[in-house]
């Protein structure tokens, strides 16, 4: 089963990388872009057929390794 996860910086945390991308886009003529925030995406292949069990494991992985919960949020966006 494939699990898709997105890890993003919390809203309250500054995202300088996103700001640079926004400035680059503005400079290229995309003037109506007023905010960019960057995050990470993970696609994890788990040898587990039960969807809820697989998502539970993915949740644990996020908490233990993939996301830094002090400054980041994570979201499981899909499994198949």
Q: Which is nearer to a second copy, 37 or 79 (CB)?
A: 37
- Minimum separation from the CB atom of position 70 to a second copy (A): 19
Binding positions for a second copy, rule: CB under 8 A:
6-8, 18, 21, 24-25, 28, 30, 32-48, 57, 60-61, 64-66, 77
**Nearest one of 76, 68, 69 to 42, comparing CA atoms:** 76
**Nearest one of 59, 67, 6, 61 to 37, comparing CA atoms:** 6
Q: Which is nearer to a second copy, 24 or 70 (CB)?
A: 24
Distance CA 61, CA 24 (A): 34
């Amino acid at each position: 089963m494939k699990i898709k996860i997105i890890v993003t910086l919390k809203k309250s945390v500054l995202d300088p990388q996103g700001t640079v991308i926004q400035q680059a886009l503005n400079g290229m003529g995309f003037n109506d872009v007023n905010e960019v925030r960057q995050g990470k995406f993970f696609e994890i292949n788990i040898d587990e057929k039960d969807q809820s069990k697989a998502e539970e494991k993915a949740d644990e992985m996020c908490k233990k390794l993939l996301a830094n919960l002090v400054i980041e949020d994570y979201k499981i966006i899909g499994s198949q």
